[in-house]
C-alpha cells in the first residue's frame, strides 16, 4: 500500500495548496492513503510571525473542509483521505493540545517536537541560536521530549523522529544510547513513528529517521508509517520509494496507518 500520512495545506501559512488539491495530487500519485495533517493552532505568543500553524479561528473551518474531502473521496480508486492533525509537543502549555484533540473528528494525530523551551530549533531564521548551544545537549533534550510526547498518550505517530538533525548538527558520535532509550519508550507506549522523505529535501539530505535509529526502532518493535511531509501539492508522495527501501533495509516488512485513531497494519 502506498501511504503518505503527513501533508500540509495553505492553512498553516508556510505551505501552499488547498485540501482539494492535495486529494487530487494523491490520486495522481497513485496513493492508497493520504493523511491531511496540517499544523494545529499554537498558543498565543508561540507563533509571533503567524507562519508556523493555522490560526485558531480557522480550526473549525479546516476540520469541516477535511471531513468534506474525506466524504467526497469514496469512489473506487479514490485514495482513502484521513482527517488528521500535526500537533506540537508543548510541555510548557499544559492543556492546549489536549483541548484541540478532545473531539472525535480525527483519524490520526501526529506528534511533533519542533520546539525546545519555546525555541523553534528547526526554523532556518533561528539557526544562529545553535551556535550558543551544545549539540549533544540539544540532541539529549530533543529525544527526551520525543519520549515524553509518546508517553503523553496524545499522539498516534511521532513525526520526523530525528528532526533535530535537520541542518546537519550532529554529535561527534552517533548517540546509540539515546536511540535505544527512545525506542524502548516508543515500544512501551505503542506509539508509531513516521519514516519521512522530508529530510531528503533539507540540508541534512537524509530520511527521518536515519538508518541506525530506524534499525533500533525496528528491533524494539516500534510500528512505522510512511510520509512526505508535503508542503506543496506536487510533493505528495515524493520520495516514498526511498522511504520504503529504507524501511525494508532496517528490517520492516509492515507499515501502519490509522482510521478513527485505530491502527491498521498492512504489508510494506
Q: Is 229 in the site for Zn ion (CB under 5 A)?
A: yes
User: For residue 89, what are the contacts with CB-CB under 8 A and spacing of at least 6?
Assistant: 97, 111, 112, 113, 145, 146, 148, 149, 152, 155
Which of these segments, 16-24, 68-76, 226-234, 246-254, binds Zn ion (CB under 5 A)? Answer: 226-234
Specify the residue, 205 or 267, whose C-beta has the smaller distance to Fe ion.
205
User: Does residue 185 touch Zn ion according to CB under 5 A?
Assistant: no
Q: Is 47 in the site for Zn ion (CB under 5 A)?
A: no
- Beta strands 108-112 and 3-4, pairing class: unpaired
Q: What minimum distance in Å lies between the beta carbon of 100 and Zn ion?
A: 16
Q: Could you tell which of Fe ion, Zn ion, none binds residue 7, using a CB distance below 5 to 8 A set by kind?
A: none
For the bound state, the minimum distance from the C-beta of residue 47 to Zn ion, rounded and expressed in Å, comes to 12
Q: Which residue is nearest to Fe ion (CB)?
A: 112
Q: With contact defined as beta carbons under 8 Å apart, do 221 and 189 qualify?
A: no
Contact region for Zn ion (CB under 5 A) — 88-96, 142-150, 208-216, 221-229? 221-229
- Residues pairing with 88 in the sheet: 112
Residues lying near Fe ion in the complex (CB under 5 A): 86, 112, 229
Binding site for Zn ion (CB under 5 A): 229
Amino acid at each position: 500500500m502506498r501511504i503518505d500520512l503527513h501533508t500540509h495545506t495553505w492553512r498553516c501559512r508556510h505551505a501552499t495548496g488547498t485540501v482539494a488539491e492535495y486529494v487530487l495530487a494523491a490520486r495522481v500519485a497513485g496513493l492508497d492513503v493520504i493523511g491531511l495533517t496540517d499544523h494545529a493552532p499554537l498558543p498565543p505568543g508561540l507563533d509571533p510571525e503567524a507562519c508556523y500553524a493555522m490560526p485558531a479561528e480557522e480550526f473549525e473551518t479546516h476540520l469541516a473542509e477535511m471531513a468534506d474531502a474525506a466524504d467526497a473521496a469514496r469512489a473506487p480508486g479514490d485514495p482513502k483521505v484521513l482527517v488528521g492533525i500535526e500537533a506540537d509537543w508543548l510541555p510548557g502549555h499544559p492543556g492546549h493540545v489536549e483541548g484541540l484533540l478532545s473531539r472525535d473528528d480525527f483519524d490520526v494525530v501526529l506528534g511533533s517536537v519542533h520546539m525546545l523551551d519555546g525555541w523553534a530549533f528547526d526554523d532556518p531564521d533561528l539557526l544562529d541560536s545553535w551556535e550558543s548551544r551544545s549539540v549533544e545537549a540539544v540532541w539529549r533534550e530533543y529525544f527526551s521530549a520525543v519520549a515524553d510526547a509518546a508517553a503523553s498518550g496524545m499522539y498516534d505517530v511521532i513525526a520526523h523522529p530525528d528532526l533535530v538533525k535537520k541542518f546537519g548538527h550532529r554529535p561527534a558520535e552517533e548517540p546509540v544510547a539515546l536511540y535505544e532509550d527512545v525506542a524502548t519508550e516508543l515500544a512501551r507506549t505503542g506509539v508509531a513513528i513516521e519514516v519521512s522523505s522530508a529530510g531528503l529535501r533539507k540540508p541534512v539530505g537524509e530520511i527521518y529517521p536515519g538508518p541506525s535509529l530506524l534499525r533500533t526502532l525496528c528491533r524494539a518493535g516500534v510500528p512505522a508509517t510512511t510520509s512526505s511531509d508535503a508542503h506543496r501539492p506536487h510533493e505528495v508522495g515524493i520520495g516514498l520509494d526511498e522511504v520504503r527501501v529504507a524501511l525494508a533495509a532496517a528490517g520492516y516488512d509492515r507499515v501502519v496507518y490509522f482510521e478513527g485513531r485505530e491502527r491498521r497494519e498492512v504489508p510494506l
